[in-house]
Structure 1
Amino acid sequence: MTGVVLAQLSCGLFFLVGLGTGLWKFQAMMANAEGEAPFYVDLCHRAALMYAFACLVLAEFARLSAWGDSVNLIAVAAPVVFFAAAVASYAAHGIMKDTDNQFRRPHQLGAREVHGRSMKTFIYLLAAGEIGGFLVLFAGFVKHLMA
């Protein structure tokens, strides 16, 4: 599998999740007296759609990268894994209705408390994976332009 194919496949999967969570959001809005969906249901829906389009950006930069398939595959996989982790965490909070702010202390995941250090570590890893993966692809694109 190439980075382009992984990004395109991820785009389709995120788009499907976005469409499915849109139905979930609509049902929640219809069941709510104020017509509002829970925060994390709404966020899950919007993030999945946003990440679908972000995957198209990753696909295009992987396609134009001067790097080899294995480098581009890893560079695409890093952000995609963290995109998926974010959507999954939003869905979990939406299902459990445990918070409207996952960064509010104490950090909750259902009935369990998540250690603050774990949250901070995850966010730094997420930033490194998403930004780092794209920087690799962007550098490959720039190298391709210079050739």
Structure 2
Amino acid sequence: MSLAEKICLSAAFLFFMTGLLTGIWKYRHMARSEDASSPTYVDIAHRSSLLYSFAALLLAAFSAHSVFAGWVNVVAAVSALTFFAFAIGTYIVHGLLQDTDNQLRRPHRLGKRLLPPWMTGVFMMLLILGEVGGSLVLGMGAMLGIWQG
């Protein structure tokens, strides 16, 4: 098994466990709430963790079939997975702070603090490049591997 596959499977496990644990957190909010609801970002953290766990499995499969050099696959996997993790972490922080129901609403907040206006935009651009770029590299490597092989 390649290093990229090991990294992706490890991330899948961590994201899946995060999804299960945030599911307990979500349930506790729902059980105590008058309308059986949880804060927006508690719900988003739960769902996104589960979805990203399966995305990480998909990246592992792409890694297994990629024709690109091992280091290229590792860089691509780490790039995508790092931003998956940052996204989940951001959702968890907003869930803990209960500071917003829309992290992209201006002015951007983190707890009681206002973030510089450029910060969220720069982070989102880096996230797009990291997630889409890393996934594209692994996916293209896999497509070349299965269709040329």
Shared fold by TM > 0.5? yes
Question: Counterparts of 1:19 and 1:30 in 2: how far apart (Å)?
Answer: 16
Q: Distance in 2 between matches of 1:141 and 1:9?
A: 20
Structure 1 unaligned segments of length 5 or more: list them: none
State the SS of the aligned residue for 1:138.
helix
Post-superposition shift, 1:139?
1.9
Counterpart of 1:67 in structure 2 is 68
Give the TM-score taking structure 1 as reference length: 0.97
Cα deviations across residues 44-97 of structure 1 (Å, max 9, x unaligned)? 000000000000100000000001211111111111000100000000000001
Give 1:130 deviation, angstroms.
0.6
Aligned to 1:146: 148
Q: How does 1:33-52 map to 2 (within 5 A)?
A: 33-52=34-53
Q: TM-score normalised to the size of structure 2?
A: 0.96
Matched, 1:136 2:137: yes
Question: How many Å separate the matches in 2 of 1:55 and 1:72?
Answer: 13
- What CA RMSD, in Å, does the superposition of the two structures yield over aligned residues? 1.0
Show structure 1 runs of 4+ deviating over 4 A.
Answer: none
- How far apart in 2 are the matches of 1:57 and 1:141? 11
Query: Contact (CA 8 Å) 2:40, 2:95: kept in 1 or not?
Result: yes
Identify unmatched segments of 5+ residues in structure 2: none
Partner of 2:56: 55
Q: Report % sequence identity.
A: 39
Q: Equivalent residues in 2 for 1:118-133 (5 A)?
A: 118-133=119-134
